[in-house]
Structure 1
Amino acid sequence: MKHICISTLLLLHVLLINSRSYGQDTVSASKDLYFGLTPPDMVAMPLALDAMSAEGWELGGLHGSGMDEFYFISSLAGPFRPDVISFRKEGRVWKKYDFYSSASDIMYSKDKYIERTETGWSEMKSIGAAFEDIRIMRLTASLKGTLVFDEVGTNGNGIIRYSRLVDGKREAPKPFAKEINTGKWNAHPFIAPDESYIIWDSEREDGYGRTDMHISFRKKDGSWGEAINFGDKINTDGWDGGAYVTPDGKYLSFCPNCNPPYDRMWVDAKIIETLRPNE
């Protein structure tokens, strides 16, 4: 019965409730949001859930109003940031899309998006022709509509780009400067809903091994600060990354030494503030 309650709550949060909020005042403090787990403090803890298999669980199942759309939720990206999987009928073929919820009434699937309307979710739309030739792995969005995303790289190549909404129009993607695009395997960015920081993976000469988690804070003049390594309390000598902050802003989840079965850790998001430079 508890699993059903959690399933319903998460399904409502992702598919039905307006998700413009990022502050703690608008997100339920129900312990069910954390599966009854004792939240971590400033020391990272394994995010181990007996109710979840390594293959991930699937929740819910909703048809769109026209019966040509079907949605369910998968935990493979992490239990507090579930993917929304949609099968959409296009002609006589059902096609699968993985959507990521954003900080607005829009969900993104790489270079495509759908938005909430009064009658349900819209038809699939292209973000723009400039995005269609980029092999995007992860795309996140801020409350202002700024998109931050990576590109599948080869031989260590990897670049992180952004695209803002300017006067209601989507600008062409632009690469971040060297503060972010330095080193190898730059990937899996997460932009804070208020655009105060960006977290991503990168392999750099001063790192702890393969990729490490880094963060850049936005300065008062709007520019981005130098990359800051999360340190050896978070990073290992392996592939570390895939970070995101829970929608209530309380916890940071990430994948240390990220190899199958991709076990995740979580830590109090206050750790972010310990890295913020004094201006």
Structure 2
Amino acid sequence: MILLKRILTFSLLIILSTAGFAQEVLWASKVLGYSSEYRPESFGHAFRARQILGEPNKLPVFGNSRCAWSPADADGRNEEWIKVGFSKTIQARQIAIAENFNPGAIVRVYAYDPSGKEFLIAETPAAQQTVTGRMLRVFPKQEMLINAVKLVLQPGKVSGFNQIDAVGISESTTPIEAKINLTKGMNLKTQKENMGDAINTKGQEVAPIISPDGKTLFFTRSNFEGNIGSPKSQDVWFSTLNDKNQWTKAANIGSPINNAGHNAVTSISADGKTIYLINVYRPDGSMYFGFSRSFKTKTGWSFPKESKIFNLMENATSMELTVSPFENTLIIAVQRADTEGSRDLYISFLQKDNTWSEPRNLGPVINSADDEGTPFLALDNKTLYFSSQGHSGYGEADLFLTRRLDDTWLNWSKPENLGPAINSPLWDAFINIPATGDYAYFSASDKSLGQEDIFRIRMSPEIKPEPVAVLSGNVFEGQTTKPVKSDIVADIKESNEAFAKASYDAETGEYRLVLPLKEIYKISALAEGYFPVSEDIDLSGDSTFRTIRKNLYLQPIKAGQQIRLNNTMFMQSSSEVVPSSFAELDRIVSTMNSYPAMEILLEGHTDNQGEVQKNVKLSADRVEQVKKYLLSKGIEGKRIQTKAWGPARPIASNATEQTRQRNRRVEFTILKI
């Protein structure tokens, strides 16, 4: 060991965030050795030596944290130590030590140069402090190259577990500070709004679930005399938005959703017709751990049906989850054997048998050694909001957002704190956002009427999900306008990939689809006894939220019925069928297979651009290409007749390209069934 000529005393400064200061800080990236680590649990990494790595997880707030290193014994008589390394060597002018809990036990700080030589750069007696935590900074007077630091503690001199959140070095003498990772450009002046006594009581109101159309708010209420079970149990309540844009007095959702046990809605489908619930419901009124779903009917909600998650966790007793807007992905907050610490967020996918795959950990970018919970996946299918006690924030638990970076669902952006307008020094969790993205609804302890209350806040653009479009409408029979119970499917036109599904039933209301922007979709309605109908919805040029009304009209399968196929089946002046139309032609194949005696007439039409004879030939070539495709799928040629009309039978003006496109079409008529 080389002792510097001038032994330094410690310098303590706690500084608030300074905007615009670009100071580079190297936080420890590897543990080179340690004397002991606290291991209170058989799984997870809470309080382990590895928790000292990276930027602070607790500071600038102080207090006990599972995301900090702690020696094995509180008040131990022996010295404890930990040595950390950095990703590169720098001319360090400052060392910062984030003592998040029971500070004052550090007695010596050593630094190491690239050759491994040890320098004692600070020494002071251990002493009990009057503060909960602190950022301890050492400023060596003698410049030196540093790539490792060792801390020595005397736990017996400072009562309680002595925890260290992080260690950093810098070439600057500007005091290193712990920063909260806020979303850039965030509006910090927005104020949250208590939802008032229509929603909140002296009891506990948590877990708001807003319907995608923003008109129904479900939530969980406990410690309230109006619950079906005991006042201490949880019941589902709901409120609706009236014509005056006011929330009505909340009502108990009643049976079968509520019973004597704990009941809570945890997610809702994009069309608002399926709610997901904690626990599995038995007919006798008892429940067990798991989750269920209930469907909207003309008389209310159906008895909840179990949704099974493979190998969830035999001894788990609680979880929270969010269902993706397309109902094929779950994000679950639960504690499992492979957890980072307390509860983590996991991903699970819907299987062909309608069960869910074994949960897979979302990884250390999101999950910490502390608690991550209350996930909400926004309707853009990319933006994930969650609460955490393991990322730097303002209080007991804060709300964060992260964005999905690819289709593996395992790569996410660094979590961003939603800021002090939402997060308080107390508990904040359970955020939920409708399709418009105008308001966020969440639970908080601060400024409540009783216990936890439900609040809302107007969303600033920086923390909104990506905008979507909401497509809704009815499905009718073409001639009679009689409502037709049907399934609605949205395919991405370019790839023919099934993207979203909904259902239409006049008894339960309109169909509704939530569609991310920047795509062209093919919307299809399917019902037994009717030929499927498809229409394109072009959102490729949209950049802001929009609502679209689209009624769909189905044609019954009967002799004499004429059906028009998608008018973008061909490129201009070409007879080649574009691949995005294959799915529609496959529906003709499916229909003809279902009706083995069916015979059809294919008729081709063009616009009036160019010579008439060439257009007649083009229309003939087009129907032959469609026929060729049907033959390739096993349909007999004797069942298909063709006719080419060229430009002779327009259904729209030929004045513009948009209207001419409607005239470039193929129709088929059912001759025999």
In structure 2, what residue type is equivalent to 1:55? G
- Post-superposition shift, 1:272? 4.6
In structure 2, what residue type is equivalent to 1:264? I
Residue 74 of structure 1: aligned partner: 237
- Post-superposition shift, 1:100? 3.6
Within 2, Cα distance between the matches of 1:55 and 1:103?
A: 28
Deviations 1:56-98 (A, max 9, x none): 79x9xxxxxxxxxxxx95159xx79998554379xxx976643
Q: Structure 1 pair 96/267, CA: closer, same or farther in 2 (3 Å)?
A: closer
- TM score, norm. by length of structure 2: 0.28
Q: Is the 8 A contact 2:433 2:441 kept in 1?
A: yes
2:319 is paired with a residue whose SS is: coil
Counterparts of 1:12-27 in structure 2, within 5 Å, are: none
Q: Structure 1 pair 268/87, CA: closer, same or farther in 2 (3 Å)?
A: same
Deviations 1:171-224 (A, max 9, x none): 211111112112412111111133211111112363223211111011256521
Q: Which moved more, 1:117-126 or 1:225-234?
A: 117-126
Q: Structure 1 pair 94/75, CA: closer, same or farther in 2 (3 Å)?
A: closer
Q: Which moved more, 1:41-50 or 1:200-209?
A: 41-50
Are 1:193 and 2:382 counterparts? no
Q: Structure 1 pair 127/185, CA: closer, same or farther in 2 (3 Å)?
A: same
2:399 is paired with a residue whose SS is: strand
- Post-superposition shift, 1:164? 1.6
Percent identity, please: 19
Residue 361 of structure 2: aligned partner: 175
Residue 292 of structure 2: aligned partner: 113
Q: Is the 8 A contact 2:333 2:373 kept in 1?
A: yes
Residue 55 of structure 1: aligned partner: 203
Which of 401, 420, 425 is the matching residue for 1:215? 401
Within 2, Cα distance between the matches of 1:231 and 1:201?
A: 12
Q: Structure 1 pair 241/87, CA: closer, same or farther in 2 (3 Å)?
A: same
Q: Structure 1 pair 96/246, CA: closer, same or farther in 2 (3 Å)?
A: same
Residue 262 of structure 1: aligned partner: 452
Q: Is the 8 A contact 1:140 1:147 kept in 2?
A: yes
Residue 102 of structure 1: aligned partner: 268
In structure 2, what residue type is equivalent to 1:147? L
Within 2, Cα distance between the matches of 1:118 and 1:263?
A: 30
Q: Structure 1 pair 54/186, CA: closer, same or farther in 2 (3 Å)?
A: same
Within 1, Cα distance between the matches of 2:394 and 2:264?
A: 32
Within 1, Cα distance between the matches of 2:389 and 2:261?
A: 35
1:87 is paired with a residue whose SS is: coil
Relative contact order, CA 8 A, sep 6+: which one is greater?
Answer: 1
Deviations 1:130-184 (A, max 9, x none): 236333332211122211121269xx71211121225565221111111211241
Q: Is the 8 A contact 2:399 2:429 kept in 1?
A: yes
Within 1, Cα distance between the matches of 2:257 and 2:392?
A: 45
The Cα RMSD (Å) is 4.1
In structure 2, what residue type is equivalent to 1:261? Q
1:264 is paired with a residue whose SS is: strand
Within 2, Cα distance between the matches of 1:213 and 1:94?
A: 31
- Post-superposition shift, 1:261? 1.4
1:180 is paired with a residue whose SS is: coil
What is the number of residues matched between the two proteins?
Answer: 217
Residue 251 of structure 1: aligned partner: 439
Give 5+ residue unaligned stretches, structure 1.
1-40, 60-71
Residue 160 of structure 1: aligned partner: 345
Residue 124 of structure 1: aligned partner: 305
In structure 2, what residue type is equivalent to 1:44? Q
Deviations 1:104-124 (A, max 9, x none): 543222222234387862552
Within 2, Cα distance between the matches of 1:88 and 1:114?
A: 10
- TM score, norm. by length of structure 1: 0.61
Residue 87 of structure 1: aligned partner: 256
